[in-house]
Structure 1
C-alpha cells in the first residue's frame, strides 16, 4: 500500500508541480548556470546506492587546491530562496516514482557515512528513504545526528500508513511556517563522519 501510494501521489504531484518545476529550472539555468540539477549518490533501501536529484542552489566555486568552498560561500540568493520554499527538493519526486525513495522515510544520506553507523542506527535503511520523515517534522535541521537517527529508527519500528499521513501534513505545516529550517546546514553541525571520528579520537585519549 505504501509503494502504491508513493507511485500514484508522486505522479500526481509531478503533474501538479510540472509548471513550477519548469519555471525553477529556467531560473536556475539563468541565475546559477548549468547543470540545472544537482546529482549525488546516496544510500537507499537495504543500503543500495542510488542517484538523488535536486535543483542546484550553489555555485561550483573552489579554493586554490581545487576543493569546493563552504556551502555558506557557494549558496546563491536564488538558491537560498529555493531552499526556504523547499522547491529545490521537487526533483526528488522522480526518485519516488522510480522507486529509489518514498514520500516519507528517513532522509537519504551520503555514501561515505556508511561505516560510521551503529547497528541500531543502520535500521534506518530497512525502509526506503523519504523526501520528508519523522526526524524532519520533529526538528528538521535543528536536531543533532544522534537525535535524528533515534527518530528514524522509531519511524521504522512504528511504520504505518496513518503515521505517513501525519508526517506529510505536519511537513506541509512546518514548510509554510518555515519552522526548524537551517538554510545553510554546514553552519549548524559537523558532517556525520567528522563528528564520529572526533568522538572516537576523544575516547581514545580518555
Structure 2
C-alpha cells in the first residue's frame, strides 16, 4: 500500500469520526489505568459495568488498597481472570504510592514496571491519558492492519513499528482509536462488513464480503 492510499484512509476515518476516544469509562489517569488492566481478554462494556460500581467506592490507589483483595474481587468478579487482575491491581496501587506519590507515571519504562502492565497497556496510557502519538496494537488493530494492507507484520510489535512509520503524523495520535473501532464494528474477525466499510475501495483484502 502506498502513502497516498494510507493518507486517504485516515482522512476518511477522521471525517467520519473527528474526535475518537476509548470506550472505557474513566475520569482520571488512574481510573483509566485500572480499566485498561481489567480489559485484558475482556470487553470494554464488561469492564465499564464493573468500574461503574468500583470507582464511586474506590478510585485512588489508597482506596483500592483499603478494599483488600477479597473486597476488590467482589467488584470485578464478572471479568475474566479477575483473581490475577485483583492481585496485579493491588500490587500496582502499592507501587504507585511507594514510588510515584500515588500518581500514574508518564514514561513507558515506568509504566511497564507496574504489575499487569505490558507494552499495549503502556501505549494506551501514553496515548489516551497523556496525549502521546503512540499506537497500542491489540487483536483488532493487528487484524485490520494486516487485512487492509495498511501495515502488515507477523507480530504485534512489528505492526506497531510499521504503523508508527507509515501513518501520517497528523493522524498518528488518533490512529489507535480509529483502527480499533473499525476492527470492533466493521472489519470484524469472522465476517467483515465490507459493504458498509468507508475504505472498501482502498482496502487490499482479497476476500471481501460481497455487496448484496
Larger Rg: 2
> Normalized against structure 1, the TM-score is what?
0.30
Higher share in strand: 1
